[in-house]
Chain A
Amino acid sequence: QLQLQESGPGLVKPSETLSLTCTVSGGSISSSNCHWGWIRQPPGKGLEWIGSIYYSGTTYYNPSLKSRVTISVDTSKNQFSLKLSSVTAADTAVYYCARNSYDYYYMDVWGKGTTVTVSS
């Protein structure tokens, strides 16, 4: 059974770069017909799609975050990663990784999420 697990620092200082990794187990990140994505949820607010990546390295980003986001993939480790630069308190959120099915264009497997707080 495919599982995704987010990891990374829970506290990041303002203006620094947030870095998270999602480890995929129970399946290969090099699967066709799926992308690997990041979604976040600020406290008390809704979900926001951040971006996604294909195992080949092709990336897709939310236009509102594109200037600060980098998503990368490491197929040898079955992991993909998120970097968000120049963070502010508004980037405080629960960050989820998810598999995006390209057969039917939806998020079919989710990680449990990890909380990241931006504070000095």
Chain B
Amino acid sequence: QTVVTQEPSFSVSPGGTVTLTCGLSSGSVSTSDYPSWYQQTPGQAPRTLIYSTNTRSSGVPDRFSGSILGNKAALTITGAQADDESDYYCVLYMGSGTWVFGGGTKLTVL
């Protein structure tokens, strides 16, 4: 079964830049996997940040950006703020109407 990999945790200083990645246990992530990214704070539903690799969802600040870096999808936060401290999940479209979530990255801003 396909496994989508993410860093379990990451930390960034306020104002700093951090790049979270999303890979596949076997193979490379490409735009054809339509990577999307979601932010989740405790007790809340996920919030859609990025879809189709690099398109920001409505209302998402431009300090969030998506890309393909090497063989992985990437979410970059530029100028991190305290309220960016959250869990971040990537999702890949596997075709045939199915999706797989990554395990999530817990981002700490300190």
Interface residues of A (CB under 8 A from B): 35, 37, 39, 46-49, 52, 58, 60-64, 96, 100-101, 104-108, 110-113
CA distance A33 to B17 in the complex (A): 35
Question: Do A108 and B48 have beta carbons less than 8 Å apart?
Answer: yes
Asked whether A60 lies within 8 Å of B45 as measured between CB atoms, the reply is no
Q: Which of B60-110 contact A (CB under 8 A)?
A: 87, 89, 91, 93, 96-104
Contact partners of B51 in chain A: CB under 8 A: 101, 104-106, 108
Interchain CB contact under 8 A, A105 and B36: yes
**Chain B interface size, under 10 / 10 to 19 / 20 to 34 / 35 or more:** 20 to 34
Majority DSSP secondary structure for residues of A touching B = strand
* Least CB separation from A59: chain B residue: B97
Question: For residue A110, which residues in chain B have a CB less than 8 angstroms away from its CB?
Answer: 45-48
Q: Please determine whether A112 and B45 come into contact, CB atoms closer than 8 angstroms.
A: yes
**Is B30 at the interface (CB under 8 A from chain A)?**
no
User: Does any Cβ of A come within 8 Å of B55's Cβ?
Assistant: yes
Contact of A46 with B1 in the complex, beta carbons under 8 Å: no
- Mask, B11-32, CB within 8 Å of A = 1, is 0000000000000000000000
Whether A96 lies near B45 (C-beta < 8 A) is yes
Contact B103 A49 (CB under 8 A): no
Give the complex CA separation of A48 and B99 in angstroms.
Answer: 9
Query: Which residue on chain A has the smallest CB distance to residue B58?
Result: A108
Distance in angstroms between the alpha carbons of A111 and B47 in the assembled complex: 10
> Who on chain B is nearest to A48 by CB?
B101
Q: Across the interface, do B57 and A108 meet the contact criterion of CB distance under 8 Å?
A: yes
Asked whether B46 lies within 8 Å of A96 as measured between CB atoms, the reply is yes
Known: A49-B98, A64-B1, A100-B99. A105 touches B46 (CB 8 A): no
